[in-house]
Amino acid sequence: MNTYFIKRFVAMIITLWLIVTGTFFLMHWVPGSPFNEERTTNAAIQKNLESYYQLDKPLLVQYGNYLKALVQFDLGPSIKKSSQTVNDMLGRGFPVSFELGLYTLLLAIVSGITLGVFAALRHNGLIDYLAMSIAVLGISVPNFVMATLLIQQLAVNIPIFPVATWSSPMHMVLPILALATGPMAIIARLTRTSMLEVLTQDYIRTAKAKGLSPVKIVFKHALRNALLPVVTVLGSLAASILTGTFVIEKIFAIPGMGKYFVDSINNRDYPVIMGTTVFYSAILILMLFLVDLAYGILDPRIKLHKKEAK
Amino acid sequence: MEKILQVKDLHVSFSTYGGEVKAVRGVSFDLHKGETLAIVGESGCGKSVTSQSIMRLIPDPPGKIHQGEIIFKDRDIIKMKEPELRKIRGANISMIFQDPMTALNPTLTIGEQIMEGIIQHEKLSRDQAKRVAIEMLNLVGIPNPEIRLKQYPHQFSGGMRQRIVIAMALVCRPDVLIADEPTTALDVTIQAQILELFRDIQKKTGVSIILITHDLGVVAQVADRIAVMYAGRIVEIGTRREIFYQPQHPYTKGLLQSVPRLDAEKAELVPIPGTPPDLFSPPVGCAFAARCPHAMEVCDKVYPFKTQLTSDHNVDCWLQDERAKKLVSSFK
């Protein structure tokens, strides 16, 4: 088991290194730099700035320096917001995005699975059609439309919830709802399909033949087997939700890290582009690892480590 | 002998896009205490549907039991509601399915799967249930049951899994065990072991067994009585001896001739020509008439009466009619 974890860890580091390398060179390959805007700066100042941020050095040297700093978890200074380091920005933004993401995920998983299970149990019945209509709506309505609708109805027309910002539980309700509908719909559809398949399996008939109640059959025998495909999607879904979403955070004026992703690219703010990408990749890789662990728990046939040859 | 289960005039059909498939069309039989009744017939003759109807496991929709009675302990199973059925399933009547590879839940330990039946029906504690489960695994011949209980189905071979499925079915000491092709998915050496196990268990527990199979070799080894099904009806029923040595229905004779025998003078197998009828619109008369070498005009038009040959032996065939017998003898 330990050798598995070591092997896996090494693989994760290599993956991350590949992503860092790819992003670094692609980013510099794209025309433009942090300093060419409409406002033309004095050539001497520009030169000073470039040498301050070491942008005048050969690309390979810059790459080497970046890796050296990265190993010490130093993501460098922001070029556009000169008083801040990338570590500061992520340190401030991530906890907020994580909180929003975590509640969103919980809501999406619980309601998605419930909806999916009921739809499957009442296959082609009224509940099924209702649940799947909700799911199709959830998938096709973009979350910014959902967000503005929710604000219009539940904050302006009927002022139950505050319109924006992030300070109390009441403030969290609307952004969570807006963000959760999409993932919920995806999870509901997957759960339904997977449940329908599992419910026709022979072992479900065996469970019925034992005289078990429908509740026991569904929760003990069917759901666990039906969750594998759902868990697969959850990995990447969780990573993207937990690291913040630009649109929802912008609409609700939430100080998360979503805006850094987009702003940094518009500004060609090299260290921030690298920082957010590396951070997102690290979270994604971690989530995929957790998914693999979850497989092993859900299905005993999936072994995380190869058996030693006897 | 005491009748433990009586099936009377059972009709089951399935609605499909193509129309209504009349899978079982008036099946009646009795099951005696402690006997093994084999139901044989080719694929699609309704033998599995009959057995699943007894436990009311036919998925509805598309399946529907249209008429008939299934009397178990003076009560009609067909009239029972779900909660009552759940008390009978697994406790009084239990079932073994064809494929042991898929009949067990891959994500639960076999101990859990054996124990949940007892816990459901007998309100035992987990410790007591575990003891019963170990006893059961011993009975079906699984070595080291204490360790094996904690393992998952994929850690067992096919034959072992079928033993576990049998243990699971027997755990509440049912009165009736329905085995739906229990050896079809196993290789021949394992088949013999499993059949031996059935005989052994029946001796020890006195359970009545309904054995569904298309394998006459299996039937010859374990059945006390045999019911031959064709196109949704039992066409002949009798003791093993009567069916193997004095088969009366042309279909039964055809079945026996299409099985290889070691003691036969001619090694050639005689297949039954043709195919079974379409059960969307089954024939009015005898369903076998189109394939029958002895078919008469009446066979196509009227379904034959049941002829009682001995106390156990019944056959549905016009050849048993006095007039047909006279006709046949006049040719000789």
pLDDT band (50, 70, 90) for residue A184: very high
Q: What confidence score (pLDDT) does residue B264 get?
A: 65
What's residue A39's pLDDT? 61
**Confidence check: pLDDT of B217 > 60:** yes
What letter represents residue A24's amino acid? Answer: F
Check CB contact under 8 Å for A203 and B55. Answer: no
Cα distances from B263 to residues A61, B55, B218, B243, B267, in angstroms, run 90, 40, 17, 18, 9
- Across the interface, whether the CB atoms of A216 and B99 are under 8 A apart is answered no
B203-229 as b/e, with b when 16 or more CB fall inside 10 Å? Answer: eeeebbbbbbbbbbebbebbbbbbbbb
Check residue B142 and give its pLDDT: 87
pLDDT tens-digit profile of A35-92?
766 566 677 777 777 787 777 788 888 899 888 888 888 888 887 777 788 888 888 8
User: Distance between CA atoms of B110 and B151, rounded to whole angstroms?
Assistant: 6
Confidence of residue A306 (pLDDT cuts 50, 70, 90): low
Does pLDDT of B211 surpass 70?
yes
> Shortest CB distance from B116 goes to which of A205, A212, A299?
A212
Task: Catalogue the E-assigned strands of chain B.
Answer: 3-16, 19-32, 36-40, 63-72, 75-76, 93-96, 176-180, 208-213, 225-230, 233-239, 306-308, 314-316
pLDDT tens digit sequence for A106-149: 999 999 999 999 999 888 888 889 988 988 988 898 888 988 89
Chain centre to alpha carbon of residue B38: 6
* CA nearest neighbour of B41 among B209, B236, B309: B236
Residue B184 phi/psi, 5° resolution? -60, -35
Whether B91 and chain A come into contact, CB under 8 Å, resolves to: yes
CA distance B79 to B197: 34
pLDDT in the model for residue A43: 76
d(CA B40, CA B259): 13
Given A202, A212, A225, which is nearest B107 (Cβ)? A225
Q: Which two tokens stand for residue A218?
A: 């569904």
**Would you place residue A310 in the very low, low, confident or very high pLDDT band (cuts 50, 70, 90)?**
very low
Contact: B57, A203; criterion CB under 8 Å? no
Could you tell me the end-to-end alpha-carbon distance of chain A, in angstroms, rounded to an integer?
Answer: 17
- Which structure tokens are listed for B190? 């394992």
Residues of A with CB under 8 A from a CB of B: 201-203, 205-213, 216, 220-221, 224-225, 298-301
Q: What is the pLDDT of residue A305?
A: 55
Average pLDDT over residues B112-141: 87
pLDDT at residue A40 in the model: 64
Q: Assign A308 a pLDDT band (cuts: 50, 70, 90).
A: very low
Q: Is the per-residue pLDDT at A15 higher than 90?
A: yes
Round the average pLDDT of chain A to a whole number and report it.
Answer: 85
| Minimal C-alpha gap between B82 and chain A (Å) | 9
Q: For the residues B38-58, what does the mean pLDDT come to?
A: 88
Q: Do B89 and A298 touch (CB under 8 A)?
A: no
Which percentage of chain A shows pLDDT scores above 90?
18
The dihedral through the CA atoms of A251, A257, A261, A267 has a sign that is positive
Task: Name every chain A residue with its beta carbon within 8 A of the beta carbon of B169.
Answer: 209
Contact A209 B95 (CB under 8 A): yes
Omega before B62 cis (within 30°)? yes
How far from B230 is each of A25, B43, B199, B245, B286, CA to CA, in Å?
75, 9, 27, 20, 10
Regarding pTM above 0.95, the answer is: no
Count of positions (residues) in chain A: 310
Q: Taking CB atoms and an 8 Å cutoff, what residues of chain B touch A211?
A: 85-91, 117, 120-121
Q: Report the residue of chain A nearest B52, measured CA to CA.
A: A209
pLDDT over 60 at A240, yes or no? yes
* Helices A270-298/A223-242 angle, 10° precision: 170
Distance between B282 CA and the closest CA of chain A, angstroms:
29
**What is the interface pTM, i.e. ipTM, of the complex?**
0.83
Chain B residues close to A202, C-beta within 8 Å: 97, 99, 102-103
Residue A106: the pLDDT is 94
Q: What is the 3-state secondary structure (H, E, C) of chain A?
A: CHHHHHHHHHHHHHHHHHHHHHHHHHHHHCCCCCCCCCCCCCHHHHHHHHHHCCCCCCHHHHHHHHHHHHHCCCCCECCCCCCCEHHHHHHHHHHHHHHHHHHHHHHHHHHHHHHHHHHHHCCCCHHHHHHHHHHHHHHHCCHHHHHHHHHHHHHHHCCCCCCCCCCCHHHHHHHHHHHHHHHHHHHHHHHHHHHHHHHCCHHHHHHHHCCCCHHHHHHHHHHHHHHHHHHHHHHHHHHHHHCCCHHHHHHCCCCCCHHHHHHHHHHCCHHHHHHHHHHHHHHHHHHHHHHHHHHHHHCCCCCCCCCCCC
**Bridge partners (DSSP) listed for residue B315:** B236, B307
Q: What is the model's pLDDT at position A252?
A: 87
Q: Pairing state of beta strands B75-76 and B93-96? A: unpaired
Q: Give the residue with greater pLDDT, A304 vs B175.
A: B175
**Cross-chain CB nearest to B105 (options A203, A211, A213):** A203
- How much is the mean pLDDT over chain B? 86
Contact partners, residue A235, CB within 8 Å, separation at least 6: A284, A287, A288, A290, A291
* Contacts of residue B285, Cβ cutoff 8 Å, sequence gap at least 6: B298, B299, B300, B301, B302, B303, B304
Confidence (pLDDT) at A191? 93
pLDDT-derived band at B19 (thresholds 50, 70, 90) equals confident
Interface of B with A in 134-163 (CB under 8 A): 152, 154
Q: Compute the average pLDDT of residues A208-217.
A: 88
Percent of chain B with pLDDT strictly greater than 90? 13
Place A273 in a pLDDT band, splitting at 50, 70 and 90.
Answer: confident
